[in-house]
Amino acid sequence: MERLSPDIVLMDVNMPDMDGPTTARTVLGRFPLTKIVAWTVSESSDDLLRMMQAGCAGYILKDAGPNELQRALLAALRSESPVPRRMIPDVLRRVTHSTPPSRSTSVALTLRETQILRGVAKGHTTKRLAKDLGLKDPSIETHLRNIFKKLGATNRGEAVSTALRAGIITLADL
């Protein structure tokens, strides 16, 4: 890492000497600007959540084709959180059922931020959000940074999870 200073690292969840989440935390502790994307065969929502909680920028399955892998890596570099769409419903159910909603949040999102957060929860890309809302990509990115700051989140998945727990969005929004 010190010698190459990569912008992005592909990391498996299960490794021989140290597991993915521990390794991700260690790497990000020393190189916080590096994006780590989990690249794994594991379709376990537990593994996805552990890797995202460790600070990973995304999660991609090894059965993804080269185009899908490339899209995921580019999305991670844009501070999006690529995850397999087929895993999102289970992860959202787990997150919302594992923590009771806390409606006493002092987070106040604007109408536009709430619209963008709902789109993110549906798995929409920055380009799609921009098109749907009649905005430019940089405007979406600015709104996302504001959402992350207000929610204390570092990525899209964490923002959605926090918003669900806080009652800012609901499963009906998905």
Q: Percentage of residues in the chain with pLDDT exceeding 70?
A: 91
Task: Give me the chain's average pLDDT, please.
Answer: 87
pLDDT at 52 over 70: yes
pLDDT at 70 over 80: yes
Q: What is the pLDDT of residue 149?
A: 92
E strands of the chain, at which residues? 8-11, 35-40, 58-61
Q: How far apart are CA 168 and CA 125, in angstroms?
A: 20
Average pLDDT over residues 129-141: 94
Q: What is the pLDDT of residue 83?
A: 86
pLDDT at 154 over 90: no
Whether the Cβ atoms of residue 143 and residue 113 lie closer than 8 Å to each other: yes
Whether the Cβ atoms of residue 90 and residue 82 lie closer than 8 Å to each other: no
What confidence tier does 97 reach under pLDDT thresholds 50, 70, 90?
Answer: low
Q: How far apart are CA 137 and CA 150, in angstroms?
A: 20
Q: How far is CA 139 from CA 122, 136, 172, in A?
A: 19, 5, 26
